[in-house]
């Protein structure tokens, strides 16, 4: 919170305390695992020490809204079905926390060393994409219509990477716009931030779906025969059927973030 409190050590104390409380609450609410909570605490502290409030606020908007949507209609049949196919379930661990927010940390460090609005634009794009992807997954899981492959348009199993629904696509745009709108509010109403967050975030999530459909590793359960992105199903190791085995969901998220960041910076040159 560079612009509000100039002493770095006060920001450090506030960061540790504030992020510590958020991490503990998230741990209690089972939104984060222990490693995830520690990572979130470190990340939150870095944001408060190095960034203006807008940086921290976007991270919190992502975290709170994605936790809300993941708990929303938890017992819904369609949602349970979708979750059975995700690579990971429930609590975010350290890997996921860094995949979601690690790019923000890098951009913020760049901003702290060489202050320029470009870093912030890239960050708005990245968070827009991460939020869009999460909202699409969580809300899209409630869709009554079967997902279709973004590449072939054919119906695919619920929870399959690269499978999209109309509801999930609208949710994706909503998630991106939520970040753009928050950024706008935090910067005394810059309209360009809404447009940039919305477009870059949506584009990133689109790339995420395309990569998910084309390249992400998919496995088949040797017990029940279902296709899944998990390396284990029904308590047994699954067999690899397609995609790059190294390209798991965390890597797909990273590629999606980079794309969104670049799109946001390019849009910043126009708007």
**Residues found near Zn ion in the complex (CB under 5 A):** 221, 223-224, 233-234
Rounded Cα–Cα distance for residues 45 and 54 (Å): 14
Q: Which residues of 68-80 are buried (b: 16+ CB within 10 A; e: fewer)?
A: ebbeeeeeeebbe
**Quick one: 234 or 241, whose CB is closer to Zn ion?**
234
Q: What count of Cα atoms within 13 Å lies in the side-chain half-sphere of residue 207? A: 23
**Quick one: 190 or 226, whose CB is closer to Zn ion?**
226
Minimum CB distance to Zn ion, residue 151 (Å)? 25
Q: Please choose, from the candidates 41, 45, 1, the residue with its C-alpha nearest in 3D space to the C-alpha of residue 23.
A: 41
All residues at 6 or more sequence positions from 158 whose CB lies less than 8 Å from its CB, including other chains: 78, 81, 82, 85, 141, 146, 147
Minimum CB distance to Zn ion, residue 57 (Å)? 41
**Quick one: 208 or 227, whose CB is closer to Zn ion?**
227
Minimum CB distance to Zn ion, residue 81 (Å)? 13
**Quick one: 145 or 223, whose CB is closer to Zn ion?**
223
**Quick one: 151 or 224, whose CB is closer to Zn ion?**
224
Q: Please choose, from the candidates 218, 186, 223, 210, the residue with its C-alpha nearest in 3D space to the C-alpha of residue 259.
A: 210
Rounded Cα–Cα distance for residues 99 and 252 (Å): 9
Minimum CB distance to Zn ion, residue 212 (Å)? 20
With beta carbons less than 8 A apart as the criterion, state whether 178 and 234 touch: no
Rounded Cα–Cα distance for residues 138 and 29 (Å): 17
Quote the DSSP letter at residue 215. Answer: T
Minimum CB distance to Zn ion, residue 224 (Å)? 3
**Quick one: 223 or 237, whose CB is closer to Zn ion?**
223
Minimum CB distance to Zn ion, residue 160 (Å)? 14
């Amino acid at each position: 919170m560079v612009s509000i409190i100039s002493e770095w050590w006060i920001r450090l104390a506030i960061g540790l305390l504030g992020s510590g409380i958020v991490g503990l609450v998230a741990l209690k609410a089972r939104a984060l695992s222990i490693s995830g909570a520690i990572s979130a605490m470190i990340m939150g502290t870095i944001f408060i020490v190095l960034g203006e409030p807008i940086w921290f606020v976007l991270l919190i908007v992502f975290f709170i809204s994605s936790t809300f949507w993941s708990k929303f209609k938890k017992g819904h049949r369609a949602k349970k079905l979708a979750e059975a196919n995700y690579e990971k379930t429930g609590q975010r661990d350290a890997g996921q926390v860094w995949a979601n927010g690690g790019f923000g940390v890098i951009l913020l460090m760049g901003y702290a060393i060489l202050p320029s609005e470009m870093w912030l634009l890239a960050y708005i794009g990245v968070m827009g994409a991460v939020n869009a992807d999460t909202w699409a997954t969580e809300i899209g899981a409630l869709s009554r219509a079967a997902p279709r492959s973004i590449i072939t348009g054919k119906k695919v199993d619920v929870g399959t990477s690269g499978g999209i629904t109309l509801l999930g696509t609208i949710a994706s745009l909503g998630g991106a716009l939520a970040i753009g709108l928050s950024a706008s509010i935090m910067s005394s109403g810059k309209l360009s931030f809404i447009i940039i967050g919305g477009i870059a975030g949506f584009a990133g999530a689109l790339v995420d779906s395309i990569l998910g459909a084309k390249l992400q590793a998919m496995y088949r359960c040797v017990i029940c025969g279902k296709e899944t992105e998990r390396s284990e199903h029904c308590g047994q190791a699954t067999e690899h059927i397609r995609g790059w085995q190294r390209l798991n969901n965390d890597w797909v998220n990273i590629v999606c973030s980079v794309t969104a960041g670049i799109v946001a910076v390019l849009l910043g040159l126009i708007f």
